[in-house]
Structure 1
Amino acid sequence: MHKAPLLIAGLIAAPASAAGTLTVTIPRLAVAEYHRPYVAGWIEPAGGGAAQTLFVWYDVKKTGGEPGTKWLADLRTWWRKGGRGMHLPADGVSGATRPAGVHKLTLPDGIKPGQYTLYVEAARETGGREIVSTPLSVPLKPASAAGKAELGAITLSPR
């Protein structure tokens, strides 16, 4: 009897982890000079460990002496946790800034089961900076948090 094919079939049939929807709300602000915020989202293992960037939205088209990446350091926490070491643009991670409204993203498959913290940070030119966090469990369970100024509701929902 060959046990190897059964073992391999069991590994292939193992459930994929994470995959769900992350919703990020950018509120409409009534200010004289409004600029779309730079926003980054990442997860960190609850017990400590390396951060994994899920997305970063910035001015990808700005070039020249002050390219859009120059201002990513304003996302101070994300920058220190791993942003400064990223080569941008990063396929599937980086994208253009978003207007005010609700934005949905699909969480990637392949996040190992366990406990994490999800962070979303926003910084805006001539505006403020805000970071919101919420626990994230894999397999994914619903979770939410809300910002007070630069960010609105942040929600996680399983597929």
Structure 2
Amino acid sequence: MEPDSRFAEFVADRGDALLRYGYVLAGNPHDAADLVQEALVKLRAAWPRLRSKDNPESYARTTMARLHIATWRLRRREHLAWALPEGEHHDALPAGDERDLWQALAGLPRRQRAVVVLRYYEQLTDSEIAAVLGISRGTVRSQVSRALDKLRAALPPPGEPVPDRQLHPHAGRGEAR
């Protein structure tokens, strides 16, 4: 089988799984698609070196996590405008309690979200997460702790409704006082 056909077969077989992983990592379908696309471009460039390896998906997922964090680091340097846009846009979310969890997860800072996804979705150890994100194991533990505290505060016990204000802490800003 030709290397190009192996790569095409990998993309056809695992593309949807990578897109789901990107969605969990980024919190929206547009950024997820961008992460997958960039990771696959990098994987394609590295494909000749990886063809003998058993798990090219691991390379793609690690690349996606690193790209996600790199984007977060770049955005940290941006200067935000005080004026808010005129209209609102909300991506479609799953229904019920799961929707509340997705909203709470999307409300986490990028690094906290990445650490939670890598630990609970990818089931990586602290050492593996630290290696993927280029941070210390202590930072991994503190970010997970902070993220879980925020998620617990945002999500009531099962069966109770979630107030909008808890999930949207900036709701109400800009209103007349």
Q: Give TM-score, length-normalised by structure 2.
A: 0.25
Higher-helix-fraction structure? 2
Higher-strand-fraction structure? 1
Greater RCO (Cα-Cα under 8 Å, separation 6 or more): 1
